[in-house]
Amino acid sequence: MENLADGLLWYFAFILSVVVHEGSHALAALKLGDRTAYEGGQVTIDPLPHIKRSPVGTIVVPILSYVFSGFMMGWASAPYDPDWARRHPDRSALMSLAGPLSNLLLVILCGLLIRLGLAFDFFYAPDSINFSHITAAVNDGLPVGIARLLSIMFSLNLILFCFNLLPLPPLDGSGIIPLFLSRERAVRYLDFIQNTPFMFLGLLFAWKVFGHLYSPIHLIFINLVYPGAGYH
């Protein structure tokens, strides 16, 4: 039962984080002139449209990864119009940026809730921290579950924010690059990343590199939550 409860916490955190990420892409695209995701029902934090679009990435892979590793990973996606992106590469780049920024906002929100819990003696800073143990509850029962959920949400959204900013296709970071290019170069660049046969290699390389980057970034953010604690 304890493992089941922990798995449900993980899945709730995973689905909420991914849905907010993809819903932010979809909302940004709509505001910037592309109705593709809106017409597909993706401008929402209701998880069902996102699950229906990517059932393997939102159900099968997260459950299997948790069962075999104790960590949950997966994916979802929001559709967009490539022709709209070619006509408006700067808007396309802002749409790409919206997803990671939404995860950063969730990291900040979780950090603020942890600080609020500390102020009211609901939480305390644990002696040691890890991915799913950022804060600890003073009392048993429901507060323990809330502390664990906030911890998972904090770490998971920090991963989604940082990992997706890597400038390798198919990650969002590759879609942000047109912000720094002339329109002509941006269009050529978008044509390249949309048709490159190396997307899987880019994802694999990003994951290998990210393993060396995340730990120090995670530690920096933890010490921002607990100024002066000196976690290392």
Q: Which of the residues are catalytic?
A: 22
Neighbours of 86 (CB within 10 A): 16
**Cβ–Cβ < 8 Å for 17, 36:** no
Residue/partner pairs of 43-51 with CB below 8 Å, 24 or more apart: 45/16, 45/19, 45/20, 46/19, 47/15, 47/16, 47/19, 50/18, 50/19, 50/22, 50/23, 50/76, 50/78, 51/15, 51/76
Contacts of 82 (CB under 8 A, 6+ apart): 190, 194
